[in-house]
Amino acid sequence: MCFNNIMQKGLCKHYNGSFHNKTCDAGICYKEVTPDPDKPGCALRRPCRTIPVFDSPSQLEEFAKRGSCDKYQEPTEAEIAEYEAKVQSIVRNFEASLPLIGRVKKEHKGQDWRGVEECPICKGKVHLTHAKYNGHVHGKCETTDCLSFME
């Protein structure tokens, strides 16, 4: 499963964020399947959604003009459940890292810093940075699919 996607009913499982990607995960160019792709409201005309989530009449009018795509495929219940479990895992991992983040912020306040600490999740190595200009901490564990975050 590609975790760039948002898995939900009514949204194509290949959709990966059309504002920062030119093509979906099925290789379809968003502009090619969107009527008037360079005019305002183009996101409403993309064929990636079948269930409208808009409430203004003008948004619904644009949604009604949406294009079509032969690669449109909704996620299965199992894919949605897998996605939701992954999201919950990421949230739990981040919550478990909060004491470490707080300590790094306190110890390195006003300093740029790079270091390696024990990962609070897998007990491996997490590489951390602290930025003096805004106090943000970024971290990535060496273990695949473990902790990774940016404030």
pLDDT along the chain (151 residues), means of 10: 72 87 94 94 90 80 91 95 92 94 96 97 97 96 93 88
Which pTM does this prediction carry?
0.74
Output DSSP code: residue 11.
B
What helix, strand, coil percent values describe the chain, rounded to 5?
Answer: 30, 15, 55
The dihedrals phi and psi of 116, each to the nearest 5 degrees, come to -125, 130
pLDDT of residue 1: 42
Q: Name the region of 10 (left: φ>0; alpha: ψ -120 to 50; beta: rest).
A: left
pLDDT of residue 4: 60
pLDDT of residue 2: 46
Q: By three-state DSSP, how is residue 114 classified? A: strand
User: What are the residues facing 148 on neighbouring strands?
Assistant: 140
User: What span, in angstroms and rounded, lies between the C-alpha atoms of 137 and 128?
Assistant: 7
Instruction: State the amino acid at position 21 in one-letter form.
Output: N
pLDDT of residue 122: 96
Count of beta carbons in the 10 Å neighbourhood of residue 1: 11
DSSP string, 40-109: TTHHHH-TTBSS----SHHHHHHHHT----TT--PPPHHHHHHHHHHHHHHHHHHHHHHHHHHHHHHHTT
